[in-house]
Amino acid sequence: MARFFKIAAAVMAGMIVIALVIVAFLLQGPPIPDHSDYQLDLATLRKLGDQPPGAKPEHLNAAAIAEAYPRAALFLGGIRFDRHHVVFPSYQVLYPDGSMIIVDAPPGAAFWSARMGGQFNAANFEAEQQALEQARAIVITHEHADHLGGIAQSSGLSSFAGHLMLTREQRDDDKSRKANKFPEDVRSGLHPLDYDHYYPLAPGVVLIKAPGHTPGSQIVYVHLANGAEYLLIGDVAWDMEQVSTPKCRPRLAEMGMGENGKQVTSELRTLHDLAAANPDVHIVVSHDAKQLADYEQAGLIGSHFDGLAAKASP
């Protein structure tokens, strides 16, 4: 009998060790390659940003639509039990003539109460919705609901759909169509944006394809009139430490989202090397709450939208 218990204990211990190894593996990201073919050439971006005629933008502003505290293990990786502060912003690129480009539009209150128990900022959401109506162009970093939901589910969608510039991948991605509840008549009527790798959108603003996190992921380069440069990288990383280390988000998260880890790790290598060689280029990671607070503190990103027209009285 004693022998049986010894064997049972050994089997149990073995299973626990195997389970721990699997958990540790899933909570780690895939390795980052030493070299990457992913192209992100600053000289080209500057040149393309200079191409469209007109004055460069003067301000980059962010409106935090929601904040949340998901489990750090799922977000950053590693076996840990703390929570991590994340933010969900919409960005406003503001031109001297008052015109604006909006990048990303997180959805309204109902989305956040159903997920992560996020704190919703009603005033910033109101500003986002107003800005969508005024924007000369609306783009998204990718087609996930926390970036596109404020557009797809907006009551004003039909009035600003003419300025919505989704790439073909973003418009046609099946998973995103369902998750975003995009009204099919509007979605199918949108003219998609087709480009190879770089697309000069407006003075000082260039789009760069970055598929991997989703098929339609892209990076937005912003060059302000004062010379400041930004790369809005969306969710290529979830936290700046994933660029600066570099390391990828955990496999468990990648599997849950159906992400292409090979593409994302290549992009992280290129972004890491670019950031190391060009510390003055401000990489902006969508959900990094601390990074956004630091940029706001330094005066590099405004903490609310500006230049919104007063609302017409009903």
Q: Could you list the residues that contact Zn ion (CB under 5 A)?
A: 146, 235
Least separation in angstroms between CB 23 and Zn ion: 24
Structure tokens at 101: 């480009």
SS3 state at 286: coil
**114 or 312: whose CB is closer to Zn ion?**
114
Least separation in angstroms between CB 45 and Zn ion: 23
**73 or 148: whose CB is closer to Zn ion?**
148
If one counts every other C-beta atom within 10 angstroms of the C-beta of residue 135, the result is 21
**146 or 267: whose CB is closer to Zn ion?**
146
Describe the crossing of helices 122-134 and 145-152 by its angle, rounded to 10 degrees: 60
**173 or 235: whose CB is closer to Zn ion?**
235
Structure tokens at 172: 């046609």
Q: Which are the contacts of 275, defined by CB distance < 8 A and separation ≥ 6?
A: 243, 244, 281, 283
Least separation in angstroms between CB 74 and Zn ion: 13
Least separation in angstroms between CB 143 and Zn ion: 10
Rounded to 5°, the CA angle 214-220-222 comes to 170
Rounded to 5°, the CA angle 40-41-45 comes to 100
**118 or 200: whose CB is closer to Zn ion?**
118
**235 or 239: whose CB is closer to Zn ion?**
235
Least separation in angstroms between CB 29 and Zn ion: 16
Write down the H helix ranges in the chain: 2-26, 42-50, 72-75, 109-114, 122-134, 145-152, 157-160, 168-172, 174-180, 184-189, 241-244, 251-257, 261-277, 289-297
Least separation in angstroms between CB 287 and Zn ion: 6
